[in-house]
A = this chain, B = another copy of it.
């Protein structure tokens, strides 16, 4: 399988004010933003944008040099520590900043049993459900136009049987059942922003998740894309598992997003750990051999996913080492220095999978281009035009 489906052929005709073809015009045509979503956790942008922390300038600049897609945290327990006082301003400012940098933003998540607000637990289930839907209404409506992509509900396969601690969302999921809860939260999100991309997201890639999605789709849940987590702290899945997951989750015909990818550059977490959160280490260093391995595995994975026609997005969860579980999971080290994986991915995204050509129009004023899908900048001799190239519809530009 190749990556031809990521490209588009485009004929562009340049015409003068009278509508005559402009021959012999030299132009630079350059992809400035991929249609494919190359994503990363963007949590560090919140302190950077809101508090102007200098140390983060270098970090966020490195981030922006590769990615066109970022995930911002909306964990209810952190976003609204005290009932009725959501941290909206800081998040909105961050999302607007990213949007201004041509970065698409996803909010994560609107409903989850983990990192949930403790204050919800004083209410009965009916009230919890009402507040959950009100929360969705408030945030999806409140960020519309800035954030139009949401992980609506997270990790539902284990949601009603999660027993590490009591929480409001497990209670309502037990009460309503998985599919009913998913349906209600999706319908609310869809109602509040009908244009939004709405994801179901899970780390469980077993048959359980497949059957859950199957049920949801047949129950009319408006799922835009299937979110698959792939935290590989215990080692790279390997191609066999990756192919198998792709094959099984392709059967729905929906876009697939790899929403939370992790491949680490240090010692692997032991395989017997079931909940990754249970692995607590004092120090989890990145190592030179680990960094080489990480770069290779990320390359293997991104190349395969970029090939797959239904995959539309890959998000690496941590940009910097130590963000989650203290793991050496980033593209940059704790001191912000760039790891081999960073340089490798930048080369893929900005060179191998990018397009930049210098062309001269023919006697019909035409140039023919083949390039990766996305937003292009066309420049030269008085021309500076931006255009979205996603189909082969011929384009006319008046100069």
Instruction: Show the binding face of A for B, using Cβ within 8 Å.
Output: 157, 161, 174, 177-180, 183, 207-208, 211-212, 214-220, 251-252
Contacts and interface: CB of A to CB of B under 8 A. Distances in A.
Give the number of copies in the complex: 2
6 contacts: A179-B217, A180-B218, A211-B215, A215-B219, A218-B219, A219-B220
A161 B207 CA distance: 10
A361 to B, nearest CB: 50
A177 B220 CA distance: 15
Contacts of A161: 207
Contacts of A178: 211, 214
A159 to B, nearest CB: 11
Nearest to A207: B208
A219 B212 CA distance: 12
B211 A157 contact: yes
Nearest to A174: B251
Contacts of A214: 177-180, 212, 215
Contacts of A207: 157, 161, 208
Nearest to A206: B208
A208 B204 CA distance: 12
A215 B179 CA distance: 6
Given A177-B252, A178-B214, A215-B215, 13 more contacts: A157-B207, A157-B211, A161-B207, A177-B214, A179-B211, A180-B218, A207-B208, A208-B211, A211-B215, A212-B214, A214-B215, A218-B218, A219-B220
A217 B215 CA distance: 9
Contacts of A179: 211, 214-215, 217-218
A162 to B, nearest CB: 12
A359 to B, nearest CB: 46
A296 B183 CA distance: 45
A177 B216 CA distance: 12
A173 to B, nearest CB: 11
Contacts of A208: 207-208, 211
Given A207-B161, A207-B208, A208-B207, A251 B177 contact: yes
Contacts of A157: 207, 211
A179 B218 CA distance: 7
A376 B121 CA distance: 51
A220 B183 CA distance: 13
A161 B211 CA distance: 12
Contacts of A216: 215, 218
Nearest to A219: B218
A24 to B, nearest CB: 56
A252 B179 CA distance: 12
Nearest to A178: B214
Kindly list the 6 A-B residue pairs having the minimum CB-CB distance in the complex, ordered from nearest: A215-B215, A218-B219, A179-B218, A219-B219, A179-B214, A211-B211
A342 B211 CA distance: 40
Nearest to A220: B219
Contacts of A219: 215, 218-220
A174 B247 CA distance: 12
A244 to B, nearest CB: 11
A216 B180 CA distance: 11
Nearest to A212: B211
A178 B157 CA distance: 17
